[in-house]
Structure 1
Amino acid sequence: MFFDLGIRDFLDRAETVYPDRVGVVDEPDQPAASWGALTYRELARRARAQAAHLDTLGVPAGGRVAIVSHNSARLLTSFFGVSGWGRVLVPVNFRLSAAEVRYIVEHSGSEVLLVDPELKGLLETVSAKHTYVLGDSDDVLFESTGEPAEWAGDESATATLNYTSGTTARPKGVQLTHRNLWLNAAVFGLHTAVTDNDVLLHTLPMFHANGWGMPYTVTGLGGRHIVLRKVDGAEILRRIDRHGVTLLCAAPAVVAAVLDAAKTWQGEVPGRDRVRIVVAGAPPPTRTIQRVRAELGWEFIQIYGLTETAPLLTVNRMRSEWTDLDDREQARLLGRAGVPALGVRISVDADGEVLAQSNHNLDGYWRNPEETARVQEGGWFHTGDGGEFTDGYLTIADRKKDVIISGGENVTSIEVEDALSSHPAVREAAVIGIPDEKWGELVTAIVVTDGSPLTAEEVIAHCRQYLAGYKCPKRVEFLDALPRTATGKIQKFKLREPYWQGLERKVN
């Protein structure tokens, strides 16, 4: 027997097995009215209502629905209400500028645009056939009494279109199918041992690779979602204490925020011997891993992957073979990217680039067949990262593509360089990532002026006109000239060298 895998399977199981269990606790401080506590029966009802409303708009299977939102129960519902009935959800990074959001909405061909109340100013410059402000339109979007038209299901159909920064100035739309997302969610849940007793705190933005698949995993297994709108170290600890949180996913910057907050926490830090924290975006320093385990008493799990791989490729958890090692050595071993997840094959080519094969890999880049062919050449996904694969463990050592990962977000150097070069006093510019304890890598601009007086503050302010805040340089250095090859190519390795000297890896 064969039937198509679909992301609605996760919602259907939750409604069938745990209908009266509280599945979602919405952020209480939403700018629109919080949905409070929702049972899985209620979550499923609202998802069906959303699908039924899309029917009335005439949005067909395969039609795109963009949503720009902070973490919320409305966004979580949309993962099912849109994709569960055959449409394509386009979750957009809420930190992007209006121009960046407009490009994604237009490039994806989204017929419907949903925006967070805090971001309704976007609708002044970003348009779609149908636009809604979440909260203001709940009675229309999530309260239909009609039943949605049934969708036959197709596991090879695109379920989400996730835009990611890469080696070009424009973001690329990653097409992830129902099969990609279903298998990523199942394998991720297996490796992190999710059960119906788990309480997940959404410290990770849900737009980010679909919350790494946890909206599907935790729903399907009957766990509880605790929605966190904005990251704050002390508030994370309060929610863990209040809701009995057992699991969270986070970038290294979030780990740093929690460790800072724990210093002034009154009493024992909540979650000791209960919480497991899954970290990705960049490998934290060994000392940070030690502190998570010792000061917080949480289990540290590291994963590696990309938006293009849905995202899980490798996972690193404590092993019984390491029990007799001291805590520093255990932390050092946990600092590697990890072993291939079930169903994933890892290889490193002659140039040192990490390659991957899995059922989680993207179907393709939206409207970009050339780039799709390039990254899937030879039947392997080309990650753009340099690394070593030894004794079953992958270690990421360098980034072959010109991308900086700062606070868990991809920043393409080319895009920042374009913004810098638009300043009339900037003759040339190069952007690199340098090690930073809080952000992992700090976006750093190396600027050559035309002789005009120019300050770092002025450079950063100029970039803020064109880029999301997290993409703007946090540091600006001025040089008389950039190092170049005989053919005129900028030698970024020379610019990076002083900052990375003495470090084994060229990623942080």
Structure 2
Amino acid sequence: MSFTDWPWRQWRARCADKPALRMNEEILTWQQLCARIDSLAAGFQHQGVEEGDGVMLLAHNHPETLLAWLALLQCGARILPVNPQLPRPLLDVLLPQMTLRFALVLDGHYDGLAALSMRAQPGGCGVTWRPERLASMTLTSGSTGLPKAAVHSCAAHLASAQGVLALMPYGDEDDWLLSLPLFHVSGQGILWRWLQAGARLTVRSKQPLEQALMGCTHASLVPTQLWRLLNAENQIDLKAVLLGGASIPVELTQKARERGIRTFCGYGLTEFASTVCAKEADGAPDVGSALPGREVHVVEGEVWLKAHSMAAGYWRDGALLPLTNAQGWFTTRDRGELREGRLTILGRMDNLFFSGGEGIQPEELERVIATHPRISQVFIVPLDDAEFGQRPVAVVECEPGTDITDFPNWFRDKLARFQQPVRWLVLPTALKNGGIKISRRALQQWVNTSLRG
């Protein structure tokens, strides 16, 4: 569907009394949702929010977070969603570059900006729908771990949604759980698919996943979450799951299929408003083909991208810094192969290192190690070595009570000899970085300091 007004208003015009949003157990129709958004937008405007203003939204996922997001959009604001777990020193360095006027804090504390409150005002309010208006600034980070803010318009977000929905059915009577935070682009992807499809969305305050999913037909999960749901043998209403974050075991997709659940997987980036390539999970190592509105090119082993969903640029000090190279492509620094239109991601070009003359791509080892049932996250980083140049070290996050000394034996027949980690370390809390992508450079520095200190 193409929009000539704010999507929620256009759905109100078409199906005013149709259920649109479930907030905990309260269900709003499109008519009721628009009334809530209008009154909140009027309240924000009464507090001084104007079109083009930068607003930080410091919040976890709650019903109020979603309503605030939609109301701020309707005010024409440029929203910077922030994880409340981000350390204050990082915010103090980052936020001055974001050209912000206000902060809406629903979780945590921040006193460096004029504070907004969720104060409703009577009457309708908002600015004219302009799909090319800059709408969101989403933090991302590269291998250095230094956050940047990728800026997207509503049009870019809707283009992302259209591509995913061309592959993954999401109909009028379906209900997608907002299972991922809005400060991640994958969470925003769920929001815009809902608005594009005119289906239903569920957002619940923090609950166990099994409870949060009650009545939902769609969800975005990582494989571990789906394993646990299937093993629990509870009633599941799910019809489709978009999986991310790891390679997808064939056994998992087969077990899901036996329960009537279709599984999809893919490849996405913050700069492209979520998913770029995707497929129905089939056990093959590729991430699928480019979705409609995307182009993929591999140049000297590096993945280059173009898409209607691409960010307008990185925001810094009131200006947009370009994303593309001289040829108009975004160079991902991901190593990849393109065969018959299907893309396989081999790892980050920056991460490849050599041990005794053998090339080690950390992501290749990580995919194998992540199959251990007690490992939830793993990083392979190089340890400097006088004889071999560098040797692989595994830094893992495990379930409580795990004995990591058992890991070398478990992986002895699953990795080549030169790939076997020479040390296994537990990921320190200090390096988890408050939800921002963990810096491999910081991990490497920590490993080399710890093992040589």
TM-score, length basis structure 1: 0.68
Tell me which residue corresponds to 2:356.
none
From 86, 92, 112, the equivalent of 1:127 is 112
Tell me which residue corresponds to 1:343.
293
Deviation per residue, 1:348-400 (Å, 9 max, x gap): 001x1111111111110002899944644411111221111101111111112
For 2:56 and 2:293, locate their aligned partners in 1 and report how far apart those are by CA, in whole Å: 31
Instruction: Check 1:457–1:278 CA distance in 2 against 1; reply closer, same or farther (3 A cut).
Output: closer
Number of residue pairs aligned between Structure 1 and Structure 2: 396
Instruction: Check 1:481–1:289 CA distance in 2 against 1; reply closer, same or farther (3 A cut).
Output: farther
Task: Give SS of 2:32's match.
Answer: helix
Contact 1:248 1:276 in 2 (8 A): yes
Contact 1:104 1:163 in 2 (8 A): no
Contact 2:294 2:306 in 1 (8 A): yes
**Given the alignment of the two structures, is residue 25 of structure 1 paired with residue 15 of structure 2, yes or no?**
no
Q: Which structure's residues are more often strand, by fraction?
A: 2
Tell me which residue corresponds to 2:378.
442
Task: Give SS of 1:346's match.
Answer: strand
Structure 2 unpaired stretches of 5+? 353-361, 385-423
**Given the alignment of the two structures, is residue 209 of structure 1 paired with residue 199 of structure 2, yes or no?**
no
Instruction: Check 1:444–1:110 CA distance in 2 against 1; reply closer, same or farther (3 A cut).
Output: farther
Instruction: Check 1:145–1:91 CA distance in 2 against 1; reply closer, same or farther (3 A cut).
Output: same
Deviation at 1:37, TM superposition (A): 2.4
From 35, 51, 66, the equivalent of 2:41 is 51
Q: Structure 1 counterpart of 2:217, which letter?
A: T
Task: Give SS of 2:34's match.
Answer: helix
For 1:50 and 1:481, locate their aligned partners in 2 and report how far apart those are by CA, in whole Å: 56
Q: Structure 1 counterpart of 2:115, which letter?
A: H
For 2:315 and 2:225, locate their aligned partners in 1 and report how far apart those are by CA, in whole Å: 35
Instruction: Check 1:280–1:197 CA distance in 2 against 1; reply closer, same or farther (3 A cut).
Output: same
Deviation per residue, 1:318-366 (Å, 9 max, x gap): 6xxxxxxxxxxxx323x4211110121111001x111111111111000
Deviation at 1:259, TM superposition (A): 1.5
Instruction: Check 1:342–1:19 CA distance in 2 against 1; reply closer, same or farther (3 A cut).
Output: same
Q: Structure 1 counterpart of 2:370, which letter?
A: D
Deviation at 1:42, TM superposition (A): 2.0
Matches within 5 A, 1:133-152: 138=118, 140=119, 143-151=120-128
Instruction: Check 1:11–1:391 CA distance in 2 against 1; reply closer, same or farther (3 A cut).
Output: same
Instruction: Check 1:9–1:458 CA distance in 2 against 1; reply closer, same or farther (3 A cut).
Output: closer
Q: Structure 2 counterpart of 1:442, which letter?
A: V
Deviation at 1:447, TM superposition (A): 7.8
Contact 1:375 1:383 in 2 (8 A): no
Instruction: Check 1:27–1:447 CA distance in 2 against 1; reply closer, same or farther (3 A cut).
Output: farther
Tell me which residue corresponds to 1:75.
65
For 1:147 and 1:389, locate their aligned partners in 2 and report how far apart those are by CA, in whole Å: 50
Task: Give SS of 2:6's match.
Answer: helix
Contact 1:442 1:474 in 2 (8 A): no
Instruction: Check 1:65–1:195 CA distance in 2 against 1; reply closer, same or farther (3 A cut).
Output: same
Q: Structure 2 counterpart of 1:256, which letter?
A: T
Task: Give SS of 2:316's match.
Answer: coil
Contact 1:356 1:381 in 2 (8 A): yes
Q: Structure 2 counterpart of 1:178, which letter?
A: C
Q: Structure 1 counterpart of 2:245, which letter?
A: G
Across the aligned residues of Structure 1 and Structure 2, the Cα RMSD in angstroms comes to: 3.6
Task: Give SS of 1:100's match.
Answer: helix
Structure 1 unpaired stretches of 5+? 29-35, 133-137, 319-330, 404-412, 414-431, 449-455, 483-508
For 1:257 and 1:155, locate their aligned partners in 2 and report how far apart those are by CA, in whole Å: 35
**Given the alignment of the two structures, is residue 260 of structure 1 paired with residue 237 of structure 2, yes or no?**
no
Contact 2:145 2:438 in 1 (8 A): no
From 252, 265, 272, the equivalent of 1:309 is 272
TM-score, length basis structure 2: 0.76
Contact 1:91 1:161 in 2 (8 A): yes
For 1:210 and 1:480, locate their aligned partners in 2 and report how far apart those are by CA, in whole Å: 36
Contact 2:99 2:318 in 1 (8 A): no
For 1:59 and 1:210, locate their aligned partners in 2 and report how far apart those are by CA, in whole Å: 27
For 2:451 and 2:84, locate their aligned partners in 1 and report how far apart those are by CA, in whole Å: 37
For 1:370 and 1:17, locate their aligned partners in 2 and report how far apart those are by CA, in whole Å: 38
Contact 2:248 2:283 in 1 (8 A): no
**Given the alignment of the two structures, is residue 237 of structure 1 paired with residue 173 of structure 2, yes or no?**
no
